[in-house]
């Protein structure tokens, strides 16, 4: 019985070695982004707390993707955990500082939501340089939602219009898009 429990131990290595983990994490992150957009329409105050709590979950998703890539490439040293933790840690503290500005009534609630969208969208774009094209797509989705809110005072239906194409494109390419920063340049 004890051996059976050891084999089913929940760890990042076991989760990352799952066959379709990249697709599951991608779809989960897209859904969490859309839920945040829906919460922004329902409650202005709850969305600020939601995005603050989602930042560590986004970090966990990127860590699982990194570990899965390291397992598939059979190169455990390929993990960029330090860079990822600095990147998502700075995003978390940026969101926390924006939340403090909102609490001090320096910024309006709608402005806070847009700033957090831009911060997290930018963080997804930067983490896409070492995690692949799916993170680029999530970052572009968050930035698109912020733009729709600014330009058109969009409602939830506008964001829903972009989820299906985003998910189809992300699942179709299977991280085959290689960012230019990952290519080796020979002189």
- Which H or E run includes 119? helix 109-131
DSSP 183: S
d(CA 39, CA 69): 32
CB hemisphere CA count around 7 (13 angstroms): 4
Q: How far is CA 66 from CA 129, 135, 176, 178, in A?
A: 12, 12, 15, 15
Are 99 and 46 contacting, i.e. CB atoms less than 8 angstroms apart? no
- CB proximity list for 145: less than 8 A, separation 6 or greater: 33, 37, 117, 154, 159, 162
d(CA 167, CA 163): 6
| 66: its two tokens | 């990194």
Would you call 70 helix, strand, or coil by DSSP? helix
Amino acid 91: pLDDT: 92
pLDDT single digits (tens) 120-154: 889 988 888 778 778 888 888 888 888 877 777 65
Per-residue pLDDT of the chain (187 residues; tens, 9 = 90+): 445 445 555 565 666 566 677 778 888 888 888 888 778 777 877 888 888 888 999 898 888 888 777 777 776 666 677 788 888 999 999 999 998 998 888 888 778 888 888 898 899 888 887 787 788 888 888 888 888 777 776 565 566 677 777 777 776 666 554 445 555 544 4
């Amino acid at each position: 019985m004890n051996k059976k429990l050891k084999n089913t131990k929940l760890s990042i290595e076991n989760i990352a070695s799952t066959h379709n983990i990249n697709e599951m994490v991608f779809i989960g992150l897209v859904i969490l982004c859309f839920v945040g957009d829906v919460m922004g329409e329902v409650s202005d105050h709850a969305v600020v707390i939601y995005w603050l709590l989602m930042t560590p979950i986004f970090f966990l998703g990127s860590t699982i993707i990194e570990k899965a890539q390291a397992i598939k490439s059979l190169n455990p040293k390929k993990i960029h955990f330090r860079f990822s933790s600095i990147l998502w840690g700075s995003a978390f503290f940026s969101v926390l500082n924006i939340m403090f500005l909102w609490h001090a009534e320096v910024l309006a609630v709608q402005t806070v939501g847009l700033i957090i969208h831009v911060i997290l969208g930018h963080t997804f774009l930067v983490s896409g340089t070492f995690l692949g094209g799916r993170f680029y797509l999530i970052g572009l989705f968050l930035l698109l939602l912020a733009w729709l809110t600014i330009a058109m005072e969009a409602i939830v239906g506008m964001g829903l219009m972009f989820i299906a194409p985003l998910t189809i494109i992300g699942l179709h390419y299977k991280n085959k898009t290689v960012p230019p920063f990952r290519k080796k340049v020979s002189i």
